[in-house]
Amino acid sequence: MVNQMALSVTIAAPQGRSGKTTVSLGLCAALRRCGLVVQPFKKGPDYIDPSWLTATGRSCRNLDAVLMSEGTLLASFQHACEGASFALIEGAMGLYDGFDSGGWGSTSHIAKLVGSPIILVVNAARMTRSVAAMVSGYQHFEPDSNIRGVVLNNVASSQHKQKLVRAIEQYCQIPVVGCIPRDPTLSITERHLGLTPFREIGKEESIDRIAHQFESYLDTDTVLAIASEAQTSHTPDIAPMEGKPVVGGVPSVLGRRARVGVMLDRAFTFYYPENLEALTQAGAELVLIDSMHHQTLPDIDGLYIGGGFPEVFAEELEANSRLRQDIRRAIEDDLPVYAECAGLMYLCRAIQWHDRWYEMVGAIPAEVEMRPKIQGHGYTRVEVARQNPFFSVGQSFWGHEFHHSTISPSGTLNFAYRMLRGRGIDGKADGIVYKNVLACYTHLHALGVPQWAEAFVALAAKKQHSLVTLPT
């Protein structure tokens, strides 16, 4: 266990869409109602599930053994747990599904790494005694699986519940710590990239309702007992967090820190908290921008446009022509801009959505079309092959992509990255470079690529210097 002060459990499942997020959300909220300070985590690179867990009180952190080293992951976990009394880790996909056939980066791998017991969420629809065979199989697939409890989801009736609980307790010798009835009001709406982000829905009452209901569905006392029993005094050797930037960063000009705008609203929601913190620690002051309501850019020295769903809000983005034109002018004046996925789409000339085209910023000579099937999904590895404002040629790093869109050039595009793994923009390249803009489908995590924040803030500070007229 990394942090002896914080208890922890990992919420896992045999497969995706078993109800992990709803159970994690309900358990987080129920534990908070018990007076605990809960720090949520999400296994893997996902942005959307963490948006819901963050709504329970503390920023959800991602634990990803591909995007960051094990030492960095452990140090990040320990740092995030400071001030918390309970850590809840939501898994991804199936318990043993990882980057390779050995399960590297799986939920099981992460749980073992941080010393967290596992509670398995099982979709119990249309089964009774067979549920024990499933749970037993997961218990024994790896000799040290550390599965300590089960939550049954989609339970049809009290009779169904009785049969399920009896089978698990008889054949698996672990407790059932929750029975969730079949209730569509407990589900979270989905769209083409998964769950709908919490920022788009913004219904605090839905979380309160789930928490209230889950208090009767979950045995929080047994969950706490499982976490307490698993807690150990053993602390693994933790390597330095290579992704943690030095606080202080780039010198300011005239007493002001370099200001980096962050486009954060319903259309652009995908930001790792560590990325924003890395920019701050590297010396930046962050300035939040709403792409649909701000008419002009504030006084900034750099702009960060993250992922999200610009196609869903294409009409609103198009309507705010003043901001789009201001961004275009700023780019022509060499404003440093780093854009990921949705940000890349926004900087193109137009986005097609539901058989209509919507005008965007137009700094990148390309059009974006939404496709019915996923175009890029999974981990990427890129090699920097062309000079650009943010990275040195020859550098390589891991990232991830998840997009339904494709980009059709209507002019010359210069690419910074050569794809070693993943699709990127055309299967071979990613990272469009124009002036001080770098726009790509690949998302990076600052703890795995610490140079990014330092380079970004240095570039912003250089822009800030260029705007200062020194006295003669």
CA neighbor of 366 nearest in space, from 380, 345, 343, 342: 345
CA neighbor of 310 nearest in space, from 297, 296, 330, 292: 292
What's the pLDDT at 184? 76
Retrieve residue 391's tokens. Answer: 């990275």
What's the pLDDT at 206? 64
Sign of the CA dihedral 183, 188, 189, 194? negative
What's the pLDDT at 232? 56
CA angle centred on 149, ends 145 and 152, rounded to 5° = 120
What DSSP element (H or E) covers 365?
strand 364-370
What's the pLDDT at 325? 99
The one-letter amino acid at 233: S
pLDDT, tens digit (0-9, with 9 covering 90-100), for 236-279 = 455 555 544 333 444 444 456 999 999 999 999 999 999 999 99
The one-letter amino acid at 229: E
Distance of alpha carbon 16 from alpha carbon 142, whole angstroms: 19
What's the pLDDT at 48? 86
345 phi/psi in degrees, rounded to 5: -60, -40
How many CB atoms lie under 10 A from the CB of residue 68? 25
CA neighbor of 9 nearest in space, from 72, 62, 86, 82: 86
Determine contact, residues 298/470, Cβ cutoff 8 Å. no
How many residues in total does the chain contain?
A: 472
DSSP string, 209-237: HHHHHHHHHB-HHHHHHHHHHH--S----
All domains of the chain, ordered by start, with CATH?
7-230 (3.40.50.300), 258-466 (3.40.50.880)
The partner residues of 471 in beta bridges, in order of sequence, read: none
Determine contact, residues 366/398, Cβ cutoff 8 Å. no
Determine contact, residues 241/72, Cβ cutoff 8 Å. yes
What's the pLDDT at 214? 77
What's the pLDDT at 183? 85
Residues of the chain with pLDDT under 50: 1-3, 191-195, 198, 200-201, 233-236, 243-254, 468-472
Among 28, 60, 341, 440, which one carries the catalytic annotation?
341
Distance of alpha carbon 182 from alpha carbon 167, whole angstroms: 19
Distance of alpha carbon 23 from alpha carbon 91, whole angstroms: 11
**C-alpha dihedral over 62, 47, 246, 6, to 10 degrees?**
-30
What's the pLDDT at 467? 61
Determine contact, residues 4/228, Cβ cutoff 8 Å. no
Q: Give catalytic status of residue 341 as yes or no.
A: yes
pLDDT, tens digit (0-9, with 9 covering 90-100), for 105-160 = 999 999 999 999 999 999 999 999 999 999 999 999 998 999 999 999 999 999 99
